[in-house]
Structure formats: structure tokens, C-alpha cells
Structure 1
Amino acid sequence: PVEQWRILKVLSDGEGHSMGELADAVLLNHPTLTKMVDRMVSDSLVYRRQDAEDRRKVLMFISDRGNALCKRLNSLAVSQEAHILENYGGKATGELKRLLENLIDAAS
């Protein structure tokens, strides 16, 4: 699912993110995010680790397997964007991106 890709994309920075930070970044509510992350942990795409500075806090990280999947999905997205650009032109594609970014900003 696209939501999994968004989670992987955020975690690919290697910084480690709390569930709250992740929920805000990927625009998912906490229960939905928790279920999705649990599945991703089961699939060895991500893992949880206790924060070294605050042991009450749990951080999420991307695994090597998750990183490989994220790179593959990023490559597919770039290919799809090139296809859209080729078929619809730069102006229409730019307008579509702008509208989608406005929609995302309005949702957050």
C-alpha cells in the first residue's frame, strides 16, 4: 500500500522516529499507523528500538529489507512520474503536483 511506502520513505532518513512523529509525517491516525507498523515489523521491513536518551520512548527504524523495498518503490515512482510527464507535458504535470501539494498541506 501507498501508506507503507510513505512510512518507509520517512524512516529511510535513518534518524528513528516516534509513532507520533510518524503519524504526523504520513498523515495517518495512531490506531491505523500502529496496525500498519505491526504488519511491517512482522514482514521485517521496520523495527522498534528504545530511545537511548529517553527509555520510555520507542523509535521506529527502517530495516535493510525495508530500505531495499523503499529504493525499488522510489525507482518505480520516478519512472511513473517520467511517464506522466511524457504523456501530459510539463505544464499539466506541474499543475497536478501543485494541486496535490495543496491538498496534502490542507490535510495536515
Structure 2
Amino acid sequence: MPDPSRTPQLRLREFLPYRLSVLSNTISRRIAELYDREFGLTIWQWRVMAVTGDAPGISATEIGQRTAMDKVAVSRAVAGLIEVGYLERKSSEEDGRRSKLYLTPAGTSVYDEIVPMAIAEEQALEAVLTPEERVELTRLMEKLAGSASPDRPLW
């Protein structure tokens, strides 16, 4: 009979949060090598560009919410992208204290080059799965996301 006063042993190799984190980081680094080598972008900068390309006029706060990036990482990525000319900040017409972010023409050009590369990497990664496994993976990810964040959708 297990001793209830003894702390259970944590086996990281079997711990779901650890495994998901390592897998996510490994996949992100694999794709990041492409846009770092070609365009000199960090993972954080690409995430900001990807979200802004998908939702022009988004605020930095909303980017943080959508990507689970902390405020400092978002701020640094935004500043770096503005500095290289890939992102621009415009004051919100509804609320002058808020600003909206947009890809510049140069940023849009880079975005348009990276997206097909990212999609190709996603397809290569998923190629080991059958169509049924892809559907099941999506279903399971949705289920875990709902459990991890019951108050708001993660994506």
C-alpha cells in the first residue's frame, strides 16, 4: 500500500505538461531555423508578425493574449519589428491611448514568403499521421485546451 505521507515521484518523461512543452519548443525551433536563417527573425518576432498578418490592427495586449507571450516579449518583438521596418504602430481612432499594429509593405512581403515555408513544415510534420490521426489530434488538442483554459478559448 502506498505511503500517503510520501510525496509522489514525478517522472518528467511521463508528465504531460513537460512533454507538450518540449514538443512545442522543438517544433517551434525547427520552423524558427527557417525564418531566422532567411530573415533574421526571432521566434517572438515571427509570432507577432504571424498574428498581425492574420489580424491587422491588433493591439500588443491582444497579441500577448493570443500567443500566451508575456508583455515584455511582445514589447521587445514589436520594437524590433518596427525598427527593421516590418511593423508600424498607429493610434486607435476609437481610443487615442491605444495603438494598433500593422505589417508594413516590407513586413507583408516577408510574411508572404514565410507563410508557405511554415505551412510546408507543418505538412511535413503531420505527414507521419494518417488523416484519421490528424482529426483525432485536433480533437484531443481542443479538449486539452478547454480543460487548460475553461474561461476563454486558446485559439
Unaligned runs of 5+ in 1: none
Q: Tell me the equivalent position of 2:86.
A: 45
Residue range with higher mean Cα deviation, 80-89 or 45-54? 80-89
Give the Cα separation in 1 of the matches to 2:144 and 2:85: 32
Unaligned runs of 5+ in 2: 1-41
- Normalising by structure 1, we get a TM-score of 0.76
Partner secondary structure for residue 128 of structure 2: helix
1:85 to 117, 126, 129: 126
What letter matches 1:29 in structure 2?
D
- Listed as ranges, the matches of 1:55-66 within 5 Å are 55-66=96-107
- Normalising by structure 2, we get a TM-score of 0.57
Counterpart contact for 2:59–2:99, Cα < 8 Å: yes
* Equivalent residues, number: 108
Residue range with higher mean Cα deviation, 85-94 or 4-13? 85-94
Once superposed, what is the RMSD of the aligned Cα atoms?
2.4
Label 1:90 to 1:65 Cα distance change in 2 as closer, same or farther (>3 A).
same
Residue range with higher mean Cα deviation, 15-24 or 37-46? 15-24
Q: Which has more radius of gyration?
A: 2
Deviation at 1:40, TM superposition (A): 0.9
Counterpart contact for 1:51–1:58, Cα < 8 Å: yes
What letter matches 1:35 in structure 2?
R
Label 1:41 to 1:100 Cα distance change in 2 as closer, same or farther (>3 A).
farther
Label 1:94 to 1:3 Cα distance change in 2 as closer, same or farther (>3 A).
farther
